[in-house]
Structure 1
């Protein structure tokens, strides 16, 4: 379904680190970016093998997943529909979805909680429809995200990744275990009360001593921020030339720097940060900058 693409690993200069590298999954595609491409590639292959032609998924009004699904559908011959959480709005992300041919159905937040019911209500009589969970969470997505570890040509002391649902984290953990690495996997939940991420990971892969969750870098919750954090993002981008978003990747880099100050990781250790893309989501917080 998708052409195989291997994102580069680049070293970034950020004091005081000597060996800080970034897996640039954000460079995979401008619209099917980062872990979205990883998650969708095997999902769409499965949908095709089941002779489905209509992708149905879920997300918020600034969801990178919706844009990625719409773009992937358009490129691979599927039609697409998304249930969008909340009142009807227009923004840059939904414009892209519309241009890629995605039909949008806005639903109230209470109805949105039961995604299977929404799918059955609207598409039970559509034999071509294929259910894709919010964010692409699925066993197929785990396989795709595990391939990040498969692609690495060297080993690292630490791998860092921001997490919303835990799907990418589960894939990374599965890859580390598959290759019998000693690498520590540090997951930065971006939601307040992110300890549930461990349970989500455990739905797909056995937890192990490789995994460490750091729960104190959510800055108030998903899509929440502070003046201090916005200042950090501006300084980080200007000093490294690496664009990060305030919802996911910036929280990860803030955590890396803070954990080094705490002595959890050492500046000379070899560290890999997974840049999961999603930069278009910055439009949803443009007023903060």
Structure 2
């Protein structure tokens, strides 16, 4: 049987992926916090999720302006960034390749990446440490490719994340965000500074030894007394959990109806409640938590639940 290509695939239409989108702010009732609000960036898109959407917004604009149709990036086997990049590339008419850290595996996240057309290059952990060298080895002589660092870390990503502040209609005593690369926190801090706000930004590193986040933020904006790092809420390190954290996720989600992930947002919300219990923040203070999405990360930890 001779199958013909459907006409829909012959007439390719590029979607406008990054049109202006404003995520809602939702107030939740969570004892003892009486003024806790969530910026629901997790609702922006199911695959280009939360801060990933904001990070990629200007990266893709720059790639297109430079006429580079091939995005090359990096991440682990359960990376939300890889899924987001794959989806954004497919919707924008671009090609995408990812260097995936570690041995070859098949999982739900990489399945989604593959369905979106992303090429996956599995890379041993030692080689993966030098991403610039990997990129040069495979694509150094190719003018069509655009390098995107792990997690989307870049000045363009900082600009995109900074727009969270300009979207806010109210002011807050405290803004909380989980931090992996520090890019989102840098954007928020820069936005707070540019708007002249008195808000305190609390960054919750999700990696052990997260003090380096301050150095990463300083690459993009001046460190000021607006920023407070809380480095004791990593629960063992990146993508690590404990029974206490898993129990917290279940209780928080059932009590609020807001789904949170084990890698980022659960650690942030745990920190908020714990800091309130320690009277480091007042239960009556107006608090905004940035929900950075990443809910597909639950798939990599389903056995813990």
Q: For each residue in 1:69-111, what CA deviation from the matched residue of structure 2 results, as whole angstroms up to 9, or x when unmatched?
A: 0000000010000000000000000000000000000000110
Which whole-Å CA distance do the structure 2 matches of 1:19 and 1:117 have between them?
48
Which whole-Å CA distance do the structure 1 matches of 2:158 and 2:80 have between them?
18
Equivalent residue in structure 2 for 1:118, among 134, 158, 169:
134
Equivalent residue in structure 2 for 1:47, among 63, 66, 74:
63
Is the aligned partner of 1:80 residue 2:96? yes
Equivalent residue in structure 2 for 1:179, among 175, 195, 202:
195
Is the aligned partner of 1:228 residue 2:244? yes
Equivalent residue in structure 1 for 2:32, among 16, 20, 28:
16
SS at match of 2:271: helix
4+ long deviations beyond 4 Å? none
Alignment RMSD = 0.6
- Tell me how far 1:228 sits from its aligned partner: 1.2
SS at match of 2:29: coil
Equivalent residue in structure 2 for 1:108, among 112, 115, 124:
124
Q: Which residue of 2 aligns with 1:131?
A: 147
User: Which segments of 5 or more consecutive residues in structure 1 lack a partner in the other structure?
Assistant: none
Q: Which residue of 1 aligns with 2:230?
A: 214
Q: TM-score, normalising length from structure 2?
A: 0.94
- Tell me how far 1:125 sits from its aligned partner: 2.4
Is the aligned partner of 1:59 residue 2:85? no
Which whole-Å CA distance do the structure 2 matches of 1:125 and 1:75 have between them?
26
Q: For each residue in 1:154-188, what CA deviation from the matched residue of structure 2 results, as whole angstroms up to 9, or x when unmatched?
A: 10000000000100000000000010000000000
Which whole-Å CA distance do the structure 1 matches of 2:37 and 2:244 have between them?
25
Is the aligned partner of 1:193 residue 2:203? no
SS at match of 2:30: coil
- Tell me how far 1:229 sits from its aligned partner: 1.2
- Tell me how far 1:262 sits from its aligned partner: 0.7
- Tell me how far 1:127 sits from its aligned partner: 1.4
Equivalent residue in structure 1 for 2:295, among 269, 279, 283:
279
Which whole-Å CA distance do the structure 2 matches of 1:236 and 1:42 have between them?
33
Q: TM-score, normalising length from structure 1?
A: 0.99
Which whole-Å CA distance do the structure 1 matches of 2:26 and 2:180 have between them?
24
Which whole-Å CA distance do the structure 2 matches of 1:246 and 1:155 have between them?
28
SS at match of 1:31: coil
Equivalent residue in structure 2 for 1:27, among 21, 34, 43:
43
Which whole-Å CA distance do the structure 2 matches of 1:25 and 1:150 have between them?
14
Count of aligned pairs between the two proteins? 289
